[in-house]
């Protein structure tokens, strides 16, 4: 990643942002959830809307709207030895299209990346796929950090089983 231009400004490139999204997906696919948590800003939010084109995560019901505390709880559950619903553990695979970089604002340290992907999750004899669009709002905070990850499921209004991992 391109280093500091001044004490507070960096020159993050399009490739840096794309590499970040690919690295995040790989961490999830490999079950490196503790490492994945280090990608998050302390006030970062993980949002999975319930409605197509939903605009508000607070005044409208969402499938997920989790802060750092809830994400840590989720990771502890996934890593836990006594999590019987995860014996054997679920596995996932993110099949990503090349991410689109919608915003590079090095002056403000703000970035936006949109990625369309197929998410596959499996456990025992069950497997399901989701077509999703993930929008990463990133900020420079001594490195790139996720301030919000929005995961829009294409068929969000359909009935589907529990998502155990993190698309």
Residue the block writes with tokens 């077509």: 131
pTM of the model: 0.90
Residue 165: inside a domain: no
Residue of 114, 110, 115, 166 whose CA lies nearest to 138: 110
Q: How many folded domains does the chain comprise?
A: 1
Residue 86: inside a domain: yes
Q: Which domain holds residue 131?
A: 14-153
Residue 2: inside a domain: no
Q: What is the pLDDT of residue 6?
A: 43
Residue 83: inside a domain: yes
Q: What is the pLDDT of residue 89?
A: 82
Q: Quick one: DSSP state of residue 97?
A: P
Name every residue whose Cβ is closer than 8 Å to that of residue 163 and which is 6 or more positions away in sequence: 121, 130
Query: Residue 98 and residue 59: Cα distance in Å, rounded?
Result: 32
Residue 158: inside a domain: no
Residue 145: inside a domain: yes
Q: What is the pLDDT of residue 8?
A: 55
Residue 113: inside a domain: yes
Task: Give the CATH number for residue 113.
Answer: 3.10.450.50
> What Å distances lie between residue 59 and 55, 56, 63, CA to CA?
9, 6, 13
* Residue 133 · residue 116 · CB < 8 Å: yes
* Residue 155 · residue 128 · CB < 8 Å: no
Residue 4: inside a domain: no
* Residue 132 · residue 149 · CB < 8 Å: no
**Below-50 pLDDT ranges, the chain:** 3-7
Q: What is the pLDDT of residues 37-85, one digit of tens each?
A: 999 999 999 999 999 999 999 999 999 999 999 999 989 888 877 776 7
């Amino acid at each position: 990643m391109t280093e500091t231009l001044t004490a507070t400004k960096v020159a993050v490139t399009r490739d840096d942002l794309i590499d970040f999204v690919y690295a995040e997906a790989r961490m999830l696919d490999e079950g490196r959830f503790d490492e994945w948590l280090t990608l998050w800003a302390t006030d970062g939010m993980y949002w999975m809307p319930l409605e197509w084109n939903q605009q508000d995560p607070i005044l409208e019901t969402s499938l997920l709207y989790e802060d750092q505390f809830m994400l840590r709880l989720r990771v502890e559950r996934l890593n836990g030895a006594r999590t019987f619903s995860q014996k054997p553990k679920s596995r996932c695979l993110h099949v990503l299209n090349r991410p689109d970089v919608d915003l590079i604002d090095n002056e403000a340290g703000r970035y936006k990346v949109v990625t369309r992907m197929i998410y596959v999750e499996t456990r025992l004899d069950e497997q399901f796929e989701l077509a999703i669009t993930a929008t990463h709002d990133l900020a420079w905070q001594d490195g790139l950090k996720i301030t919000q990850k929005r995961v829009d499921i294409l068929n969000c209004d359909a009935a589907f089983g529990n998502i155990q991992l993190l698309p």
